[in-house]
Amino acid sequence: MSHLPRILTVGAEVALLPAAVRKFPTKIFRSNVSNINCQLRLQNRPKGLLAPGDLQLIESPVPEIRDGQALARVKYLSIDPTMRLWMAADTYLPAVGVGEVMRAIGFAEIVESRHPDYKKGDRLTGLTGLQEYVILDESAKRSFQKVPKIPFVPDTVFLGVLGVNGLTAFFGMEIAQPKKGDTLVVSAAAGATGSIVGQIGKIHGCRVVGIAGSDDKCAWIAKDLGFDAAINYKHPDWKEKLATATPKGIDIDFENVGGDIMQTVLGRMNLHGRVVLCGLISGYTKGDPGMASFATVLVKRLRVQGFIILDYASRFMEAATQLGHWKMFGKLKDRETIVEGLEKAPDAINMLFTGGNTGKLIVKL
């Protein structure tokens, strides 16, 4: 058994150690902090769904923080379709480099700090990456946001309804300019964003029709979330059912999917309808953007607007306050699909494209 003195503080007691030990000091962590950081790094740019080895699980040392830095333990990871785009090419953000930690939004808690803006126990969301620990420095304010502890509300709400999906739905519907009596169609309606979009549509007095990929998902959005109609696009007669559900045509298309679904919805749009282009997930694993023909856009005089949620960063607090109000008064409901273990994140990402999740998809660490 070693008889070296136990290190309690970085100071005079270190001098009691032998010179060989003092020369290469070991980082001393609190009992609840590991010295190993498990990470998923991009090794190959995927073709189609993620294959084994596209993201490689590695262990790296947790670096010792310096003045102006804080160390946070990641507790939850948000799994979002845009991650597949980040692996492939430059988009609104540069592509993740091969060998780099895969970019992802996460929920984390400060476990050690030498940063003036953060103290132990602070909770935040931001671009943590697919890893167990993340270092915050002077640039943290641009990519991290502190979040409060709300009684009886799970931490994961800050990755969904009060996170990027809620914000996306909020500002996307602002672009849509819904009016009472409008017919709103939402694709990927049982997903994290689409499910919130439909409920915001109901708050504004719209007739809301959701398109989803299973009978269970359709039952959830119709019975639990209050959609007026739900269409399973995997049924052979789904186009006829969409026509029946939209007898007065469609005023707003909140588009998350692209491809044949988008083309069919646009064919039922009313003159001067609004198309909010949020995503084209049907093409993310196929190298196909899934855009519809602009001939329909021209003939129907549609207004099509794409948007990126980062454009609204200065208004996030405003939107989160309103979303929180709706959530507190029961006007917004949500559901989560939680996968446990960092090593399961690649499978979770694929679930987005195979229909394996309902509501918000999260990896718990």
pLDDT tens for 50-104 read 999 999 999 999 989 999 999 999 999 999 999 999 999 999 899 999 999 999 9
- Cβ neighbours of residue 18 closer than 8 Å, sequence gap 6 or more: 4
The listed CATH number (3.40.50.300, 3.40.190.170, 3.90.1150.10, 3.90.180.10) that belongs to domain 19-158+335-364? 3.90.180.10
Query: What is the per-residue pLDDT for 5?
Result: 29
* Residue range 167-189: mean pLDDT, rounded: 98
**pLDDT confidence of 290, banded at 50, 70, 90?**
low
Q: How far apart are CA 236 and CA 31, in angstroms?
A: 58
Confidence band for 292, pLDDT divided at 50, 70 and 90: low
- The Cα 320–Cα 336 span in angstroms is 19
The pLDDT of residue 3 is above 70: no
Whether pLDDT at 10 is above 60: no
Q: Give the per-residue pLDDT at 275.
A: 97
Span 325-357, pLDDT tens digits: 999 999 999 999 999 999 999 999 999 999 999
pLDDT at 7 over 70: no
Taking CA atoms, 324 is separated from 20, 38, 206, 309, 321, in Å, by 56, 33, 21, 18, 5
Class of domain 164-311: alpha beta
Alpha carbon 250 to chain centroid, angstroms: 28
Residue 322: count of CB within 10 angstroms of its CB:
14
Helix 316-328, helix 164-176: angle, nearest 10 = 100
Q: Is the pLDDT of residue 239 over 80?
A: yes
pLDDT at residue 323 is higher than 90: yes
* Domain 164-311 in the same topology as domain 19-158+335-364: no
- Specify the higher pLDDT residue, 6 or 54: 54
* Structural domain spans, the chain: 19-158+335-364, 164-311
Reported as a single tens digit per residue, the pLDDT across 16-48 is 333 333 333 334 444 457 789 999 999 999 999
The whole-number pLDDT of residue 17 equals 35
Per-residue pLDDT of 240-258, as tens digits, reads 999 999 999 999 999 999 9
Residue whose structure tokens are 């699980």: 57
Contact 186, 197 (CB under 8 A): yes
